[in-house]
Structure 1
Amino acid sequence: MKIRRISAAVAAVSAGALVLTACSGPAQESEIEGTTSVNVGWNEPFRSTNNLTANGNATANANIVYLTTSFFNYYDGDLNLAKNEEFGSYEVVSEDPFTVKYTVNEGVTWSDGTPVDAADMILFWGAQNDMFDTVAGGDVPTDADGNAEVPAGEVYFDSSSPAMNQITTFPEIGDDGRSVTYVYDSPRSDWEVSMNQPSPVAAHVVGKIALGVEDPTEAKAAVEDAFENNDAEALAKIADTWTNAFNFTSLPDDPDLYLSYGPYVISDYVENQYLTLTRNESFNWGPEPKVDSITIRYTEDPLASVTALQNGEVDLIAPQSSVDVLATLDGIDGVSYTTAPEGTYEHVDLTFDNGGPFDPATYGGDAEKARLVREAFLKTIPRQEIIEKLIQPLQEDAKTRDSFLFVPGSPGYDEVAAGSGADAWAEVDIAGAQALLAQAGVATPVDVRFLYGKSNVRRANEYQLIAASAAQAGFNVIDNGDDTWGSILGNGTYDAALFGWQSTNTFILNAEANYITGGQNNYGGYSNPEVDALWAEVGTNTDSAREVELATQIEQKLNADAFGVNIFQFPGVVAHRDVLQGVSTIALSPTIFWNYWDWEISASDSLDAPSASESE
């Protein structure tokens, strides 16, 4: 299985996906003369230009990757999937075997002038295909920070894609190296979003760093050859580079680590403070921005984001909504805001493989005893109390979310939720939890280490409510709150985690990485062969009615296994200074960044914000 050592502050899935599905749109000419800049507030710092790794799979990274790369397709404002033909094209060339050809248009280049081409698409495929790994993730030790320590000479790409795993023959390269044709072993119902860009990091840079090949053309050829020949010696070096070299928390000295083939290029980054992107002057294969630079400024505190907006330090924010946030926004002149449910949902996941209270190994391998303890804990989570005290003040009609796979209100949600067994968690059942612990023969109190974002006021309040309720049944819920919780997910140091998944597309299939054995986002080590088999059937299914049946069966098993529990759909708020026009958001990642090309500054005003060189 893959190591899931780090993931997202708000990672990716609901009715959606775990691989960033970003967008493009019609090219537009700038209408603003002079240099313009926008400052955006965000809650978690960027940490990797490779958002395909376990470490890089974070919304904070996906936002930057979205602005610095290009994609074959995108979701528009109505959540319709559309092609970006200015960048490239793709087509199904055979139904049996299922075969898709991708072609990058001539003239598309990385910001160093090197063409974006087949080598980058080969890297995207090969790095996420488990068949090249010579060591399983479960056999790879981790250091004190949870980073993989791959044995010398072993091949281990810290990533996995069920779709890429379905392509086991080396793809055909054509059109003077600009196209790649993939032949799937079996069809994938979500194929159109599974391979939606060449690569977030450059194949020629990977070849240069890993293999010491300086010439870009030769470096790309070396990467292609390593995958085509399954050259373990070369792939071990490529895997190490691909997994680790593109992670950074301040601007690296080597610009190769942050090359772009999108509308913007990273130009400055001060750790834990801000990251600045400036226009990529060579970019003309997608929607051209009207704003010359974007600076992302970081703070976990929602009220601090509002204060920064009020003070003109940022121009656009999407903070976690709260009564205080909305009340403060109401009193700020020159600021507009909107509220609506987001594509993100809050949930609690349990850990199955860390020697803790929910792990069968703790009870000598007794899986049923561990399941009873998990079920007992989930019965104590006060979902309705959390909704009434923390969410309904922001959204009067807020209700609990009762499906793992479907967004409330979407087709199939009501049917799946009604038949999934989620009603087991509808109300707190202290007596039932105590009876289950007694049935398991487990002495109380049972210690449960609980991970959440400590400085996040709403999550801190959720923790307090959960801990107080669970204590009544005999659980000692230990405060493991940590502001770096995103880098802790999957490292085994906690027993329960409270965080959010965010949708990135409208296919339920890509949720499988949360729940299948060894799935990249299956941080708790859950494994059920019957669930794996159901996901395999979902992968090739094209019947919507059958999809609902399969989803219901998957959710029944997740609830029966006491995998975890969902709580609520996020009540969202987006606020911006009125001088910034064109702001919009969608209920999928990259949310407020999706239509960057529409952002502009009203002709009669300017955004007098601090420059990116100033500290905060």
Structure 2
Amino acid sequence: MKLRKLSAATALLATGALVLSGCTPGGDNGDADGADTGNGETSGNTDAFNAEGQQFTTEPEDTGKADTSDLETMDDEISVSMGEIEFVGYNGSTPESYSVYNSTVVNRIFEGFGYWGTDNVWYANEDFGSYEVVSEDPFTVEYTIGEDVSWSDGTPVTVADYVLDWAYQNASLTNSDDEPLFNGISQTYGERVLEGPQGDPEGKTFTIEYTEPFADWEIMVNSTLPAHVVAEQSDMELDELVTAVREADTDALEPAAEFWNEGWLTDPGTLPDEELIPVTGPYTLDNWQAGESLTITANEEYWGNAPGTERIVFRFVNDGQHVQALENGDLNVARPQATVDTRGQLERLEDQIVLHEGEAATWEHLDFNFIEGGAFADSLELREAFAMCVPRQQIVSNLVEPVNPEATVLNARESLTFEENYEDIVSESYDGTYDEVDIEGAAEILEAEDAVGTEVRIGYAAPNPRRTDTVAEIKASCDEAGFEIVDSGSEDFFGPGGAQETGDYEVALFAWAGSGQVVSGQNIYSTDRPQNYGGYSNETVDDLFNQLATTEEADEQQEIIIGIEQELWGDLFGIPLYVHPQLSGSDISISNVRDTASQDQIVWNAEQWQRAE
């Protein structure tokens, strides 16, 4: 069962890329149609990534996961690196932990009702369970969890787990300060489904009833966290927890929310006690060495297909060292930053590695800080002046085209350059005002606003060579116009207590990693949403996203998206730059490695990886 891709507006924040969340931050796919599999056979799948020489134990039939039911777990270890960013924690659904880097790990330990294929198409996970629309009015969906699906501690996955899943996304459950009890990344579920999942808490079947049809209904419910652990740690019986949620008894829920928010948080290198972190997926969290690695180990109680390899080790390695580590054998799979130097280095290792290359559903952008007191917060004129001096084409030409000669400047947020509707949306929403650098025009605005010398701190997660170069290009141009550009890249920019969280910046430089979700941009651009980090507010944008959420026809969705883009350009919420090229490398001996355009990147099917004997 597939969900047709309508928009690339879902994203994760991962210093390299963030997660746009309305449900669930970017990469690309494995091999192109007709690629050589390395064993004399020809790949018949439709992955969007070129990967000449890759091998399969089972040939994939489409862009979803291959059938590996015959695979047996090999007592082996495969090392992979997505970058040097530290793992955050088991609960990946808080604003502090919801990132590409953290999600690439936690999505390996939790299973759910579906997943994104290599081309951002949604696939139902029929091994986990099933779902179907049982009523159009009111719009109602029935879910059935597989009979054998259980947590790794032997506890069955039941409706109770999904009642908790709804609770953490329900902003109407508030504390005495009228703030949401749960520090969840998204509030959409609670807004769209007022009563939560209905069904026997100990059973396997539940229904959810929407207030009105919802465009992203199929991806609203997926994996969950263990309700039985939350109940036990809150000195509650499981049925008491469910009753408290359903009766909105916030006093009774406060201990549960406190544990959900903080109980799984630990210092780097320290995992919570084993009984606190059961999993539903093919791997369990095993060993965490702060600043070095995190090992996940095959789940002995897993109810699904056996994983291909006993241990997957996520190594926290600077992406500038990835190619050397691949050559030395210290890494078996890596996703370095896509640069012209990286491409050349990977091509030099053609006898050792498979080069996966394509275009990610990840896009780079500059976002203004609208929090009161900021230089740009109340001045559209200064935002316009800054946009006029940002050399977008030069940035693309110098930093992206050497890797992807077809790269172009991105002029939208809710549609990416490779999508079918991109040109139609841009032609109706953007007039080309910021296509060319206008130093003189920017300088005139600064003079008129008595703002010559305005300091602009551009923050990003460092080290990141391409972003450092991007800031240097902007500084060379915008300083000439009269701004004073400051490179404020830091390791903790997006971390707890970092400059992004405290608002100590003027412009943030980062990427959103996308998926096929239609309405995830609502979590970023709508007023007071969890991922609206810069404090932007526009009632028209709020209204348009509410309309988009309840619109099912693609043509009508596109018209609404055009309206959203017009508003975001008019206000200059931020400045889109480009779609990320993506390069990954995998040891030629490792089978079933396929890159993807989705947020999980090359590790999306890591449970299928296996070294050839």
* Cα 1:571–1:265 shift into 2, 3 Å: same
Q: Name the stretch that deviates more: 159-168 or 533-542.
A: 159-168
Does the CA-based 8 Å contact 1:12-1:19 persist in structure 2? Answer: no
User: Judging changes above 3 Å, is the alpha-carbon distance between structure 1 residues 175 and 228 closer, same or farther for their aligned structure 2 residues?
Assistant: closer
1:553 and 2:563 correspond: yes
- Aligned residue in 2 for 1:359: 377
Question: Cα 1:31–1:206, aligned 2, differ >3 Å: closer, same or farther?
Answer: closer
Q: 1:291-302 residue pairs with structure 2 within 5 A?
A: 291-299=309-317, 301-302=318-319
8 Å contact from structure 2 (residues 283, 296) kept in 1: yes
* Other-structure match for 1:437: 446
Query: Residues 245 and 134 from structure 1, CA distance in 2 versus in 1: closer, same or farther, beyond 3 angstroms?
Result: same
2:519 match: 509
Instruction: From 166, 182, 187, give the equivalent of 1:125.
Output: 166
Asked if residue 100 in structure 1 is aligned to residue 104 in structure 2, the reply is no
Structure 2 contact 185–531 (Cα < 8 Å) conserved: no
Q: Is the 8 A contact 1:402 1:422 kept in 2?
A: no
TM-fit CA distance, 1:541:
0.7
1:304 aligns with 2:327: no
Amino acid across the alignment from 2:264: F
Per-residue deviation, 1:208: 2.1
1:19 is the counterpart of 2:24: yes
Aligned equivalents of 1:13, 1:424: Cα separation in 2: 29
Query: Where does residue 254 of structure 1 map in the other structure?
Result: 273
Cα distance 1:24–1:232, how it changes in 2: closer, same or farther (>3 A)? farther
Contact 1:7 1:56 (8 Å CA) reproduced: no
1:202-241, CA deviations, whole angstroms, 9 ceiling, x for partnerless residues? Answer: 11111222x224xxxx2x2222122112122222222222
* DSSP 3-state at the match of 2:457: strand
Matches of 1:20 and 1:196 in 2, distance apart?
A: 16
- Pairing 1:494–2:500 present: no
Which residue matches 1:473?
A: 481
Deviation at 1:30, TM superposition (A): 2.4
Gap change, CA 1:522 and 1:135, over 3 Å in 2: farther
Q: Which amino acid aligns with 2:316?
A: Y
**Does 2:286 align with 1:263?**
no
Q: CA deviation at 1:394?
A: 1.0
- Describe the SS at the equivalent of 2:579: strand
Give the CA deviation at 1:180.
2.2
Aligned partner of 1:225 in structure 2 is 243
For the structure 1 residues 352 and 54, does the alpha-carbon distance in structure 2 shift closer, same or farther, using more than 3 Å as the test?
Answer: same
Structure 1 residue 23: deviation in Å? 7.6
Amino acid corresponding to residue 302 of structure 2 in structure 1 = F
2:228 alignment counterpart: 204
In the alignment, the residues of structure 2 paired with residue 443 and residue 84 of structure 1 have an alpha-carbon distance, to the nearest angstrom, of 56
> Alpha-carbon deviation of 1:253?
4.7
Work out whether residues 99 and 183 of structure 1, in 8 Å CA contact, stay in contact via their aligned partners in 2.
yes
2:191 partner amino acid: N
1:224 is paired with a residue whose SS is helix
The CA deviation at 1:501 is 0.6
2:152 is aligned to 111
Asked if residue 562 in structure 1 is aligned to residue 562 in structure 2, the reply is: no
CA distance in 1, matches of 2:156, 2:356: 41
> Within 5 Å, which residues of 2 pair with 1:561-580?
561-580=571-590
Q: Which moved more, 1:310-319 or 1:225-234?
A: 225-234
State the AA in 2 paired with 1:303.
Answer: G
Mapped contact 1:24–1:74 kept (Cα < 8 A): no
**1:284 and 2:303 are equivalent in the alignment:** yes
How far apart are residue 17 of structure 1 and its match?
Answer: 5.9
CA distance 1:454–1:75, shift in 2 (3 Å): closer
Q: Percent identity?
A: 30
1:195 maps to a residue whose letter is V
Contact kept, 8 Å, 2:23 with 2:219, in 1: the verdict is no
In the alignment, structure 2 segments of 5+ residues that lack a partner are: 1-11, 27-62
Tell me the equivalent position of 1:192: 218
1:236/1:350 Cα in 2 relative to 1: closer, same or farther (>3 Å)? same
Q: What's the CA shift for 1:195?
A: 1.4
The code of the aligned residue for 2:339 comes to S
Give the corresponding residue for 2:36: none
Q: What whole-Å deviation, never above 9, does each CA across 1:532-586 have from its counterpart, x for those lacking one?
A: 0000110111121111111111001001101101111111101011111211011
Please tell me whether the aligned partners of residues 19 and 100 of structure 2 are also in contact (alpha carbons under 8 angstroms).
no
What is the CA distance between 1:387 and its match in structure 2?
0.8
For residues 359 and 607 of structure 2, the distance between their equivalents in structure 1, rounded to whole angstroms, comes to: 24
Which residue of 165, 170, 176 corresponds with 2:191?
Answer: 165
Q: State how many pairs are aligned.
A: 560
Find the counterpart in structure 1 of residue 92 from structure 2.
Answer: 51
> Is the CA contact 1:531–1:554 (under 8 Å) kept in the aligned structure 2?
yes
**TM-score (structure 1 length as normaliser):** 0.86
Corresponding position: 1:524 with 2:534: yes
- How far off its partner does 1:11 sit? 4.4
Give the secondary-structure state (helix, strand or coil) at the position aligned to 2:380: helix
Quote the offset at 1:164 in angstroms. 3.0
Superposition deviation, residue 56 in structure 1: 1.7
Q: Which stretch shows the higher mean deviation, 310-319 or 350-359?
A: 350-359
Q: 1:183 aligns with which of 209, 216, 231?
A: 209
- Alignment match, 2:348: 331
What amino acid does structure 2 have at the position aligned with 1:400? V
What amino acid maps onto 1:271 in structure 2?
A
Which residue of the partner structure matches residue 470 of structure 2?
Answer: 462
Distance 2:196 2:334 in 1: 44
AA aligned to 1:598 is Q
In structure 1, list runs of 5 or more residues that go unmatched: 1-5, 141-153, 361-369, 604-616
Q: 1:17 to 1:424 in 2, by over 3 A?
A: farther
Please provide the CA RMSD for this pair: 2.3
1:60-71 paired onto structure 2 within 5 Å: 60-71=101-112
Residue in 1 aligned with 2:44? none
| Correspondence 1:401-412 to 2 at 5 A | 401-412=410-421
Task: Give the aligned residue type for 2:565.
Answer: E
Q: For 2:529 and 2:536, how far apart are their aligned partners in 1?
A: 9
